[in-house]
Structure 1
Amino acid sequence: MRMQAEESDSSWLKLELEDDFDEELEQEVDDARLPPELRELHQHRKKSGIDRGLYFRELMRLQGELVKLQDWVVHKGLKVVVLFEGRDSAGKGGVIKRITQRVNPRTCRVVALPAPSDRERTQWYFQRYVSHLPAAGEIVLFDRSWYNRAGVERVMGFADDGQVEDFFRDVPDFERMLVRSGILVVKYWFSITDEEQQLRFMMRIHDPIKQWKLSPMDLQSRVRWERYTRAKEEMFERTNIEEAPWYIVEGNDKKRARLNCIAHLLSLIPYEEIPRETVLLPERVFNPDYERRTLPPELYVPEAY
C-alpha cells in the first residue's frame, strides 16, 4: 500500500512539473511557427547555439532563482528598476515574459507606457515615469523607458534638438537621484543585427498572430537603421554612468539572450533564500446540514475539448 501511495504521489508531481513545462513550451511553439512565405529565408538562419533541453533546464533553474530574489527584495524592502531598451523586435518582450512567468505579479510588475497624451507632453519629461517607480519590496520592469527621447523620439522627429540635449543633460542627474533614494537602476540594451531584424519583421508581416506587434513606427525604424545606430552610440556615450551603467545583451540568439540576461540580473543583487515556516493545510470543515445545490447547465462553459 505504501509503495502504491508513493507511486501515486510521484505520478502527481510529474503531472504538475509537466504542466509547468508545457507553459513554456507553448511560448516556444509560438516562437517557432513559420509562415510558408518565410521557409526559404529561414533556411539561411542560424540555429540556436544552445541545446533545447539545456535551455529549458536552465530557464527553469533561473526562474526558481528569480522567485528567491523576489522574496529577498520583499524581505529587505529593496527597490529595483530594470530598463529594457533596444531596437524593435530585439527580444525585450521575450525576456520580460520569462522573468515574470513564475514570480508574484503583485510585487514584480511590467510598465509599458503608450505614446504620451497631449497633457503629458506639457509635463516635465520624466514625470509620467516617476509615478511607476517602485516602493519598498517591489521590482519594476520598464518595457521601454525614458530613453525613448534618446531613441525613437529623436530619430522620428518627435523631439527637437533642444529637447534631446536637455534630456542628455538631465538624465544622469535623474538616475543618480534615483540611486541616492535607494533604487537600484539596471539598464539593458538588446542588440541584434540588421539581417536578424529583417527576418523578425518578415515573421510579423506574414504571421497573423504576430501582426499586432508591427506598427508603422517599426517599419520606419528599418528605413532609419543607421540614424538609430548613431543615436544609440551617443546615448551610450552620454548616459553610461557609474551609478547606472548600460549592459548590452547580444540578442540574435533568443534563447541565449534570455538566459544571459536573467543570469546577469541575478548576479547584480546579492540575495539569500528566505527561510519559510512550514505550511500546514487545515482540515476542511464539513457541515452535515449543508447540501450542495444543482446549478442549471446553461451556467457552465461547453466542454468543447
Structure 2
Amino acid sequence: MNDTCKDPRAPSDRDRLREEVLDDIDEEIELELDDARLGSENEAENTGFRKNYFRELLRLQGELVTLQDWVKDTGHRLVVICEGRDAAGKGGVIKRITQRLNPRICRVAALPAPNDRERTQWYFQRYVAHLPAAGEIVLFDRSWYNRAGVERVMNFCTDEEYDEFFRSVPEFERMLVRSGIQIVKYWFSISDDEQELRFRARMEDPLKQWKLSPMDLESRRRWESYTLAKEIMLERSNIDEAPWWIVRADNKKKARLNCISHLLSQVPYHEIQKPEVRLPERVYSPDYIRQPVPETMFVPEKY
C-alpha cells in the first residue's frame, strides 16, 4: 500500500494530537499509581487536594521547560542538591523535575559509594566531575553532604575527615558560586512515624523491596544519630551564598509542588523568544520503493 493513502477510518490529526497529550499525562498518572499501590498518605483527607494536584504539577512542569530554555540560552549553570533521610521522597521530586526536560540539559548525579581509588582522592574530587557546564542543570540525588550524614553516622570517616569537611565545604561552595554556578540546597524532612510507615510499605511491596538496603534498615535504628548529624550539618554549612531550604515532606504530593515552585522562584528566568517552528514539506522520490519487512521481525502484538 502506498504510504500516502489514508484509511478513512483512521483517527484525525486532531484526535492523534489529543492522544499524544493524554499519553504525556498518563505518564505522570503511572508514577502516581506506583506511589499509591501501598500508599502511606490518608487519601480520604487528601481527596480535594488530589483533584488539583495533576493540574498544578503540569503547570509547574511547563514553567520548568521555560526555565530550561532560559538556562540553555543564557549559559546559566545550576546545581540542585537534594538531601534527606531514606524514604524522604527525594527521588520522587527529582523524577517530577526531570520528567519533561531534555536530559542533555538537565541531568541527575546519583553517585555510588566511592571505590578504593576515590577514597584516596580529595574528598570533593569525584563530585566536581559532575558539575554543570554552561547551559546545564544538575540535580544531585545525595551529594558531598554524604560525609556530614551517612559517613558520620556509620563511622565511614574519621573525626579529622569530618571536621575538615566542615572547614572546607563553605569555601568549596563559595568558590563554585564565584565561578558562576548557582547552588540550591534542599533538605527533605519527614517525621519518625512517616519514615517507618514508608519503610513498612516497601517491605510489603515486591516492586519496591529493592529500595531497602541493609544501610537503610540500619539508618532506621540510628534515627537519633541521623537527627543530630542533620542538625550539625544545617548549622555549619548554611551560608549566605548557598543556604539550606527545608521541605516538609510527610505529604509527598505537597512536597513535590512546594519544592518545584520554590526552585522556580530561586532562578531569575524568563521566557525566551524563539523562532517559529515550521514543519518542512516531506520529500517524495518517484523512484523510491519501500521494501517489505518479514513478519518474523515484528514484536508480537499481545496488547
TM-score range, shorter chain: over 0.9
Aligned-residue CA RMSD (Å): 1.7
Structure 1 residue aligned with 2:70: 72
* Matched letter for residue 35 of structure 2: D
Distance (whole Å) between structure 2 residues aligned to residue 193 and residue 267 of structure 1: 26
- Give the corresponding residue for 2:288: 290
The aligned amino acid for 1:203 is: A
Instruction: Report the CA distance shift for 1:178/1:102 in structure 2 as closer, same or farther (over 3 A).
Output: same
Name the counterpart of 2:28: 24
Q: 2:15 aligns with which of 11, 18, 25?
A: 11
- Which residue in 2 is equivalent to 1:230? 228
Match of 1:97 in 2: 95
Higher mean alpha-carbon deviation, 269-278 vs 145-154, is at 269-278
Counterpart-to-counterpart distance in 2, 1:253 and 1:214? 20
Q: Which amino acid aligns with 2:177?
A: V
Residues 19-47 of structure 1 show CA distances to partners (whole Å, capped at 9, x for unaligned) of: 1110000001000102xxx9xxx697884
TM-score normalised to the size of structure 2? 0.93
Q: Distance in 2 between matches of 1:170 and 1:138?
A: 25
1:211 maps to which of 195, 200, 209: 209
Counterpart secondary structure, 1:15: helix
Q: How far is 1:12 from its partner?
A: 3.5
Structure 1 residue ranges, 4+ long, deviating more than 3 angstroms after superposition: 7-13, 42-50
Give 5+ residue unaligned stretches, structure 1: 1-6
8 Å contact from structure 2 (residues 61, 97) kept in 1: yes
1:184 is matched with which residue? 182
Distance 1:45 1:219 in 2: 27
Q: Could you tell me how far apart the structure 1 residues matched to 2:179 and 2:289 are?
A: 57
State the secondary structure of the residue aligned to 1:51.
helix
Question: Do the aligned residues in 1 keep the contact of 2:41 with 2:251 (CA within 8 Å)?
Answer: no
In structure 2, C-alpha distance between the alignment counterparts of 1:113 and 1:146, rounded to whole Å: 10
**Shift of residue 227 of structure 1?**
0.3
Paired residue for 2:152? 154
- Matched residues in 2 for 1:90 and 1:148: separation? 15
Q: Which residue of 2 aligns with 1:4?
A: none
The residue type equivalent to 1:28 in the other structure is E
Amino acid in structure 2 at the alignment position of 1:173: E
Matched AA of 1:21: I
Query: Equivalents in 2 of 1:50, 1:245: separation in Å?
Result: 34
In the alignment, is the contact (CA less than 8 A) between 1:82 and 1:186 conserved in 2?
yes
For residues 163-202 of structure 1, the aligned pairs below 5 Å read 163-202=161-200
In structure 2, relative to structure 1, the CA distance for the partners of 1:182 and 1:49 (3 Å cut) is farther
Distance of 2:222 and 2:198 partners within structure 1: 17
Q: Deviations over 1:170-220 (max 9, x none)?
A: 000000000000000010000000100001101111111101111100000
1:50 Cα shift? 5.8
- Asked whether the 8 Å contact 1:80–1:140 carries over to 2, the reply is yes
Q: TM-score, normalized by length of structure 1?
A: 0.93
Counterparts of 1:43 and 1:125, CA distance in 2 = 39
Picking from 235, 238, 241, the partner of 1:240 is 238
Following superposition, the deviation at residue 165 of structure 1 comes to 0.4
In the alignment, structure 1 residue 299 sits paired with structure 2 residue 303: no
CA offsets, 1:117-157, max 9 Å, x none? 00000000000000000000000000000000000000011
Q: CA deviation at 1:17?
A: 2.1
Determine the C-alpha separation between the residues in 2 that align with 1:23 and 1:44. 23
Please, which moves more after superposition, 139-148 or 284-293? 284-293
CA distance in 2, matches of 1:270, 1:43: 34
Q: Distance in 1 between matches of 2:166 and 2:46?
A: 37
Q: Deviations over 1:81-116 (max 9, x none)?
A: 000000000000000000000011101000000000
- Over 3 Å counting, the alpha-carbon distance change for 1:88 and 1:50 in structure 2 is farther
Gaps of 5+ in 2: 1-10
Match in the other structure for 1:85: 83
What is the aligned length? 293
Provide the C-alpha distance between the structure 2 equivalents of 1:141 and 1:265, rounded to a whole number of angstroms: 12
